Amino acid sequence: MKDKFIKKLKRSWLAIWIAFAAAALSTIGVLAAYTSVSSVKRVVSTQKGAGMLFSSNYLTTDENDLPRTITFSSMENSPCVTVNVCNYPQTLIKHNDKDITYTLTVELVDSNGNAVTGEKTAKYSVEYNGEKKTFGSNSKIEFSLLKLMADDFNKHEFVLTFDKSQLTNSDIYMRVTATPTNQAELKPLSAKLGVIYINNNTSATWTGTFIDNATSPKDLDGFNYRLSGSGEGTVTLTWNTNYVDISPWFKNTYDLTISKDSSGIATATLKVNSAEKNQYDIQFYRTNGINSAEQWSDGNHTDITVTGTGFVSMSFTQSTATEN
């Protein structure tokens, strides 16, 4: 009787142990699945992280102060540039889950960054939410205590009006800076913007470069590539899928037709017209791990190379003017 009782007890403990082990393995399985999802998400993020949840159509986190010109095909009116500041990346992946308070400043400067003063400053203005401010004798305008609410995808729009003379002179710029005041992880956004007149007889130019400011591409899990320029034509974009692939969001948004050869080189074309849009920001995702030989091709981050092989390149063909 005693032996039967002990055997029965052992069987009970064995069942309990098996149930416990199964529960533990189940927990490990859940953890592995969660870790896998996190790893997948990590591929689409870059070093900028949360900073991507504070973005703009023109302003960037780049630390250079190089001027950018927005092109216009008409000289009839004073040129206006609409700058937006958003609580989401330009790819609309997600919005910031916290309110963002910030200050926006606009300075009137020359190409070297020196303040522009005098009577001519009165011809320049900035409008936000129905309030229009002119520079007057002061070379600086400020909008403070601005808040992007966390309840949805939200943006603020600022209309910058330039003097018509700048369409041909292009020697006065507005340096726009949006500085967050309540989230330390968000970086300020800025750009020095100008305007220029482009017609069918003007030579068009489009360029492409990575805008990530990391010391090495090996510090990044994904990349931000910017096409920008003036004029109308076709951009041919080429990338090496052995290293990166293009954002599905960008592919679908602009209805790209992509071809790929046997060596993994992908190609797509994009019709561009700076009178409608003069900048495209494209995300590229890694398709394999980080290569120890990766490096920027030059100081301007035109490309990423591995022993001479590039990740992304582009070329531009200007449209031929047609006669009516």
Where are the chain's structural domains?
A: 50-197, 202-318
Given a cut of 70, whether residue 24 has pLDDT beyond it is: no
Given a cut of 60, whether residue 31 has pLDDT beyond it is: no
Per-residue confidence at 136, pLDDT binned at 50, 70, 90?
Answer: confident
Nearest to 246 by CA among 231, 224, 277: 224
pLDDT of residue 86: 94
Which whole number is the average pLDDT over 231-253? 92
CA-derived radius of gyration, the chain: 27
pLDDT of residue 1: 53
Given a cut of 50, whether residue 39 has pLDDT beyond it is: no
Given a cut of 60, whether residue 35 has pLDDT beyond it is: no
* Residues 84 and 158 sit within 8 Å (Cβ to Cβ): yes
Given a cut of 90, whether residue 33 has pLDDT beyond it is: no
Tokens of 239: 């990338």
- Measured distance CA(243)–CA(236) in Å, rounded: 19
Other C-beta atoms lying within 10 Å of the C-beta of residue 175: 19
Q: Do domains 50-197 and 202-318 have the same CATH topology?
A: yes
Between residues 113 and 107, which one has the greater pLDDT? 107
Cβ-in-10-Å burial (0-12, 13-18, 19+) of 229 comes to buried
The helices-and-strands tally (H runs, E runs) of the chain is 3, 21
Cβ-in-10-Å burial (0-12, 13-18, 19+) of 66 comes to exposed
* Residues 104 and 65 sit within 8 Å (Cβ to Cβ): no
Phi/psi at 168 (nearest 5 deg)?
-115, -30
Give tens-digit pLDDT for 250-298.
999 899 999 999 999 999 999 998 777 778 889 999 999 999 999 999 8
* Residues 313 and 226 sit within 8 Å (Cβ to Cβ): no
- Measured distance CA(242)–CA(261) in Å, rounded: 12
* CATH fold of 202-318: Immunoglobulin-like (2.60.40)
pLDDT of residue 264: 95
Which whole number is the average pLDDT over 113-137? 89
- Measured distance CA(144)–CA(131) in Å, rounded: 13
Which residue is listed with tokens 């927005």?
Answer: 70
* CATH fold of 50-197: Immunoglobulin-like (2.60.40)
From its phi and psi, is residue 290 left (phi > 0), alpha (psi between -120 and 50) or beta? beta
The overall average pLDDT reported for the chain is 80
Give tens-digit pLDDT for 58-86.
888 876 667 788 877 777 688 899 999 99
